[in-house]
Amino acid sequence: MDNLCSAARKVFRAALKAVDPYKAVYDSLAIKGTVLSLGGKRREKRPYDLTRYKRILVLGAGKATVPMATACEQILKKRIDKGLVITKYGHSGPLGYIMVIEAGHPLPNTAGLCGAQKIVTLLKETRADDLVIFLTSGGCSALLPLPVPPITLSEKKKLTDLLLRSGATIHEINTVRKHISMTKGGNLARLAYPSTVINLILSDVVGDDLDVIGSGPFVPDSSTFREAWDVLEKYNLKSRLPKSIIKHLRAGLERKVQETPKPGQPYFRKVKNRIIGSNLVALKAAETKARDLGFETLILSSQMQGEARALAKNYAAIAKESVKSGHPFSPPVCLLAGGEPTVTVKGNGLGGRNTELALALAIEIQGLDRTTFLSGGTDGTDGPTDAAGAIVNGSTYRKAIKKGLKPENYLAHNDSYTFFKETGGLLITGPTRTNVMDIHIMLIG
Amino acid sequence: MDNLCSAARKVFRAALKAVDPYKAVYDSLAIKGTVLSLGGKRREKRPYDLTRYKRILVLGAGKATVPMATACEQILKKRIDKGLVITKYGHSGPLGYIMVIEAGHPLPNTAGLCGAQKIVTLLKETRADDLVIFLTSGGCSALLPLPVPPITLSEKKKLTDLLLRSGATIHEINTVRKHISMTKGGNLARLAYPSTVINLILSDVVGDDLDVIGSGPFVPDSSTFREAWDVLEKYNLKSRLPKSIIKHLRAGLERKVQETPKPGQPYFRKVKNRIIGSNLVALKAAETKARDLGFETLILSSQMQGEARALAKNYAAIAKESVKSGHPFSPPVCLLAGGEPTVTVKGNGLGGRNTELALALAIEIQGLDRTTFLSGGTDGTDGPTDAAGAIVNGSTYRKAIKKGLKPENYLAHNDSYTFFKETGGLLITGPTRTNVMDIHIMLIG
């Protein structure tokens, strides 16, 4: 079992390494003489000849922008003419050419607003012979807040709160939000036009949909003011919303203000959105590592969602089948998955979705030999704890019972962190500076 | 989409065919001259030379015993000396050499009790030169009820009810039940000793554990009277149980009555328990069919359990990943799984676990092209309906909305059968005479 446990840690570390923000940018930008190309496995057909560009701007927003910007400086050095990235308080670091603004997250504040205004101004000033390298990572949306004036940040917050409580779908919420924003829904692409834009993205969104990550600042928006208005009517929100928002949406409906940039419009011709780090990228690196360690591998999905303890049942069913009949593969096998499960909190215990998933799985696989499972948050934190997740195996349950602890009780109280604190098995990494959601590693030896 | 739908039906039919009770027995018994061997893929090393046996008895209990017995008659014909099978009311059929008793299921009744007594008597009379072919299928436990006298059927029922409501685990419940039974927990093997026994099993139990199927009449029981007693104490049931049961268990504790047959005891030396049909057998046949149809295939697990709508989320995550990135495989791919999900009923709609799973999945995969999913009960019935399950695809959701139906509402009311009745997509097979739980087929074209 110890070998499997150590192998699981190695596989997790390999996953983290692949989505390190500095490394991801460094590996995806390749420079040779005056030619910049987007590296990685999907090498760009049309490289960027830097002699064609008068200026290079490095901009961005997100919790990981500082290490991403550091990589840009390493590669482009003095060629960077202007640089400004916005990151969360406490996430700054030393940069040579690029300015950093720290701002509020997850609640946007005026620091973010000022930063967003500066980025908008810089993009407005770009010309056809400029190259913009934009750095997107988790938190981008909150760190780049710019409602259309005179809508204020607090009015925008009120809108979001009302929409969230209304029962509107995430698609409906985004439709409204994109139509009151100066940055989201393709608006940055319009501002940057006709310069060349490379948007390097570290995705923390299930499914990696470009129009969802950071609310798609460089992606065409196919939703309309009409649809945004319909959402307000559907959920009966018109009377409860700030007047500034109603006024702007009505103006949009009457075509007095511009629609968000639509698919097929010229703004996107010179824009390249490139996902350089994602849950799937992490899973693929984990897969490579697991193969090196001698495991047959299978990536189930990078899009796992739903209640953590229900997911545990399904993972356990797959592990049991592998042990019993060699399906989907005979051991040694490494099953990999990732995503963002949820926990419906009913107790007042301490834990995150990773420790809860691991505890639920420990209950399901009790007595199953040679099976080890690791669930870890790639950002190194799991809920309000100092752990990234936990590692369990077929003996975890029995060992807890021997200590007089009842795993089912800890699960019932959402007290998974405390359970592992008492029995061992916590996965501690410290902050990783990256975030591509969670990684689940099942090793059957 | 129509092609995928038709392919899904073909794959499901292939799964059903593989676990047809008649066919499963017919294919697993091969006779050549006077030598009987257990066929199938795992061909028996030591065949049974029928000249060595004075008599052949065919016995059994379960909902599928009549077609299973028919296959025995086809193969063994006049060589059968005695035959008696117990089946559920309405499940009888014409047999030449083997007697049929119809009895109560799922609630045992005196008809089953009489049948069980007859089987016990026949087994007691067997000798070393007899061959017993026993036929086990779903419902065996209820159709073979024989509590140790003077415990009555209604007293046994009271015990089961109390145990179910106490929060005892299924393992704990079985421990107690095996210790008040004359048939379960290896007791039939003791009665049959020293004759030769071939127990042909059609499993309707998740995981196919031999000691769980029919409560393991031919399988050693490692649980003890002491453990059975501890269960009563743990759940504080002693004062509430019929005196006859308490008296018997106390006698067992004081070693005044015999323990259940234990592993290593001679009773099992000449017993062969052979699973001839199971969810996994059905999945393997489905896999072969899907490959023939040009799909890459993957059997995830035959042991899926847990809430149907949670399982739908996980299946959807895997389908979306396949479409997006080609993991675990690029289309055309057929993902196969099976088991027995549950539905926590909150509404008063009409449906079974298969239609509920299909409806939940239709919501999850809305808009996903070239993806079709079938969920079907192998017995041809799904909950209290005339359907076996349902087939959905990426357009199911949109089509329902167009008709003015809101899929989420039907799911919220557990009204999945009604949903498919109105939108189409019901899978109707009629009774199949077999049961290896449910089959889930995801085709991505």
| Sheet with B426-427: strands ordered across | B296-304, B333-339, B438-444, B371-377, B389-393, B426-427
- Degrees (nearest 5) of the Cα angle B222, B227, B230? 170
Q: Is B166 among the domain residues? A: no
What whole-number distance in Å separates Cα of residue A425 and Cα of residue A418? 11
Contact B310 A305 (CB under 8 A): no
Contact A310 B311 (CB under 8 A): yes
Range of the domain at A60: 20-146+181-223+260-277
Q: B43-57, B74-88, B211-225, B258-272: which has the minimum mean pLDDT? A: B43-57
Residues in A touching B209 (Cβ below 8 Å): none
Once rounded to an integer, what is the mean pLDDT over residues B57-62? 97
Q: Are residues B51 and B200 in the same domain?
A: yes
- Please check whether residue A53 is in contact with residue A127, taking contact to mean a CB–CB distance below 8 angstroms: no
Q: Measure A321 CA to nearest chain B CA, in Å.
A: 5
- pLDDT of residue B154 exceeding 90, the answer is yes
- Please check whether residue B206 is in contact with residue B437, taking contact to mean a CB–CB distance below 8 angstroms: yes
Q: Is B374 among the domain residues? A: yes
Q: Are residues B268 and B362 in the same domain?
A: no
Q: Are residues A121 and A85 in the same domain?
A: yes
Cβ-nearest to B317 among A298, A301, A327 = A301
- pLDDT of residue B365 exceeding 60, the answer is yes
Q: What is the structure's pLDDT at B200?
A: 97
Q: Are residues A191 and A326 in the same domain?
A: no
- Average pLDDT for runs of 10 along chain A of length 445: 87 97 94 84 74 96 96 95 96 94 94 97 97 96 95 95 89 94 97 97 94 95 96 93 96 96 96 96 98 97 96 97 94 97 94 97 95 96 94 97 96 97 96 94 97
Residues in B touching A299 (Cβ below 8 Å): 321, 327-328
Q: What is the structure's pLDDT at A169?
A: 85
| Sheet with B130-136: strands ordered across | B99-103, B80-88, B55-61, B130-136, B196-202, B271-277
Q: What is the structure's pLDDT at B41?
A: 56
What whole-number distance in Å separates Cα of residue A183 and Cα of residue A145? 7
Residues in A touching B310 (Cβ below 8 Å): 306-307, 310-311, 313-314
Residues in A touching B280 (Cβ below 8 Å): 321, 325, 327
Cβ-nearest to A328 among B298, B305, B314 = B298
Q: Per residue in B391-404, pLDDT tens? A: 999 999 999 999 99
Comparing alpha-carbon positions, the chain A residue that sits nearest to B303 is A317
Q: Are residues B332 and B362 in the same domain?
A: yes
Residues in A touching B304 (Cβ below 8 Å): 313-314, 317
CATH number at residue A120: 3.40.50.10180
- pLDDT of residue B1 exceeding 60, the answer is no
Q: Is A232 among the domain residues? A: no
Once rounded to an integer, what is the mean pLDDT over residues B350-364? 97
Q: What is the structure's pLDDT at A43?
A: 58
Q: What is the structure's pLDDT at A39?
A: 75
Q: Per residue in B412-436, pLDDT tens? A: 999 999 999 999 999 999 989 899 9
Q: Are residues B265 and B331 in the same domain?
A: no
Q: What is the ipTM of this complex?
A: 0.89
Antiparallel, parallel or unpaired: β A55-61 and A80-88: parallel
Residues in A touching B303 (Cβ below 8 Å): 317, 320-321, 324
Contact B280 A327 (CB under 8 A): yes
Comparing alpha-carbon positions, the chain B residue that sits nearest to A327 is B299
Domain boundary among B245, B277, B309: B277
Contact B328 A280 (CB under 8 A): no
Contact B314 A314 (CB under 8 A): yes
CATH number at residue A380: 3.40.1480.10
Cβ-nearest to B306 among A310, A318, A339 = A310
Antiparallel, parallel or unpaired: β A271-277 and A371-377: unpaired
Q: Are residues B270 and B301 in the same domain?
A: no
pTM equals 0.91
Report residue A161 as tokens: 């709160």
Interface of B with A (CB under 8 A): 207-208, 280, 283, 298-307, 310-311, 313-314, 317-318, 320-321, 324-325, 327-328, 337, 339
Cβ–Cβ pairs < 8 A, chains A and B: 91
- Please check whether residue A373 is in contact with residue A5, taking contact to mean a CB–CB distance below 8 angstroms: no
**Distances in whole angstroms, Cα of residue B34 to Cα of each of A235, B73, B79, B307:** 78, 15, 10, 50
Q: Are residues A87 and A132 in the same domain?
A: yes
The contacts of residue A326 (CB under 8 Å, 6+ apart) are none
Q: What is the structure's pLDDT at A41?
A: 56
Contact A280 B327 (CB under 8 A): yes
Contact A300 B318 (CB under 8 A): yes
Residues in B touching A306 (Cβ below 8 Å): 310, 313-314
Residues in A touching B300 (Cβ below 8 Å): 317-318, 321, 327-328
- pLDDT of residue B43 exceeding 80, the answer is no
- Please check whether residue A260 is in contact with residue A191, taking contact to mean a CB–CB distance below 8 angstroms: no
Q: Is A159 among the domain residues? A: no
Residues in A touching B283 (Cβ below 8 Å): 327
Q: Are residues A211 and A285 in the same domain?
A: no
Once rounded to an integer, what is the mean pLDDT over residues B32-57? 83
What whole-number distance in Å separates Cα of residue B13 and Cα of residue B25? 18
Q: Is A245 among the domain residues? A: no
Q: Is B230 among the domain residues? A: no
Number of domains observed in the structure of chain A: 2
Q: Are residues B217 and B94 in the same domain?
A: yes
What whole-number distance in Å separates Cα of residue B108 and Cα of residue B128? 32
Interface of A with B (CB under 8 A): 207-208, 280, 283, 298-307, 310-311, 313-314, 317-318, 320-321, 324-325, 327-328, 337, 339
Cβ-nearest to A314 among B280, B306, B325 = B306
- Degrees (nearest 5) of the Cα angle A125, A131, A134? 90
Q: Are residues A394 and A266 in the same domain?
A: no
Per-residue burial over B258-276, b if 16 or more Cβ lie within 10 Å, else e, is ebbbeeeeebbebbbbbbb
Confidence of residue B60 (pLDDT cuts 50, 70, 90): very high
Contact B302 A318 (CB under 8 A): no
Residues in B touching A324 (Cβ below 8 Å): 207-208, 303
Give me the torsion for CA of A30, A36, A39, A42, rounded to 10°.
-170
Residue type, position A381, single letter: T
Cβ-nearest to A302 among B280, B313, B321 = B321
Q: What is the structure's pLDDT at A33?
A: 86
Residue type, position A337, single letter: A
Q: Measure A168 CA to nearest chain B CA, in Å.
A: 13
3-state secondary structure of B221: coil
Q: What is the structure's pLDDT at A1?
A: 44
Q: Three-state SS across chain A?
A: CHHHHHHHHHHHHHHHHHCCHHHHHHHHEEEECCEEEECCCCCCCCCEEHHHCCEEEEEEECCCHHHHHHHHHHHHHHHEEEEEEEEECCCCCCCCCCEEEEECCCCCCHHHHHHHHHHHHHHHCCCCCEEEEEEECCCHHHHCCCECCCCCHHHHHHHHHHHHHHCCCHHHHHHHHHCCECCCCCHHHHHHCCCEEEEEEECCCCCCCCCCHHHCCCCCCCCCHHHHHHHHHHCCCHHHCCHHHHHHHHHHHCCCCCCCCCCCCHHHCCEEEEEEECHHHHHHHHHHHHHHCCCEEEEEEEEECCEHHHHHHHHHHHHHHHHHHCCCCCCCEEEEEEECCECCCCCCCCCCHHHHHHHHHHHHCCCCCCEEEEEEECCCCCCCCCCCEEEEECCHHHHHHHCCCCHHHHHHCCCHHHHHHHHCCEECCCCCCCCCCEEEEEEEC
Q: Measure A32 CA to nearest chain B CA, in Å.
A: 30
Cβ-nearest to B317 among A305, A313, A318 = A305
DSSP 8-state assignment for residue B142: H
Q: Is A243 among the domain residues? A: no
Q: Are residues B201 and B297 in the same domain?
A: no
Q: Is A161 among the domain residues? A: no
